[in-house]
Amino acid sequence: MKIGVIGFQGAVNEHITATERAMRELGLSGEAIWLKDDAQLSEVDGLIIPGGESTTIGRLISNAGIFEKIQEMGKSGVPILGTCAGLILLAKEGGEEIKETKQPLLKLMDMKVIRNAFGRQKESFETDLEVPAFGEKPFPGIFIRAPAIEEVWGNVRTLAKSKGKIVAAEQENLLAMAFHPELTSDTRTHQYYLEKVERNTS
Ligand code: GLN
């Protein structure tokens, strides 16, 4: 299988490494690639949108002319993992700040997101998260100027909460994390995501 990590800005290499490690752990053959153009989109079985700055990533995806195609892929069932800024881009709705800046969203997941939801004093923190879908062992959550999901509807399933806010969710082929699983050695997020890809391609 081939996974494309949208590679304009953010933690791209870390996602490539974590994805390939998770493939090995699951016994899957495949690779993760640094994705920048339209031609590569046709080659991949899944997409990862990394953390970074959601306004910048959104703008660069539009400039590269692949915004609509990513949207279509998400709608047609191609698995997409969005982390941090990537989570913001997956959302159908944004809070005031997103509305005011007219930031383009892919509008794929039935959720409303807030940027920088954990306030300025606590811009970055690490915490053990309960993620029942990953088993009993807590997941190391690394939050960096993280967003949060304010509201979900439709068939979105909440996967984890922190400080009373939803920080991980899934909806069919889509998986969104407010934290940075690619910065830990715990590959359960990437494994969970690759299982979606495997189901979609087999
Ligand atoms: N605060 C960033 C944004 O709003 C997200 C931060 C991150 O991806 N680490 O886009």
Residue 174 half-sphere exposure, CB side, CA atoms within 13 Å?
29
Tokens encoding 98: 């997103």
Give residue-wise pLDDT tens across range 39-73. 999 999 999 999 999 999 999 999 999 999 999 99
Q: What is the pLDDT of residue 123?
A: 80
Closest C-alpha among 45, 70, 39 to residue 57: 70
Identify the sign of the CA torsion 8, 11, 186, 88: negative
Closest C-alpha among 104, 81, 74 to residue 32: 81
pLDDT < 50: residue spans in the chain: none
Q: What is the pLDDT of residue 102?
A: 85
Q: Whose CA is nearest to atom 8 of ligand 1?
A: 51
From the CB of 50, is ligand 1 less than 6 Å away?
A: no
User: Which numeric CATH code is attached to 2-201?
Assistant: 3.40.50.880
Distance 178 CA to ligand 1 centre (A): 9
Instruction: Tell whether pTM > 0.85.
Output: yes
From the CB of 144, is ligand 1 less than 6 Å away?
A: yes
Q: What is the pLDDT of residue 130?
A: 98
Q: Whose CA is nearest to atom 4 of ligand 1?
A: 115
Q: What is the pLDDT of residue 35?
A: 98
Tokens encoding 190: 């990437």
From the CB of 117, is ligand 1 less than 6 Å away?
A: no
- Given a contact cutoff of 8 angstroms between Cβ atoms, the answer to whether 196 and 157 are in contact is no
Q: Where are the domains of the chain?
A: 2-201
Atom number, ligand 1, closest to the C-alpha of residue 55: 10
From the CB of 187, is ligand 1 less than 6 Å away?
A: no
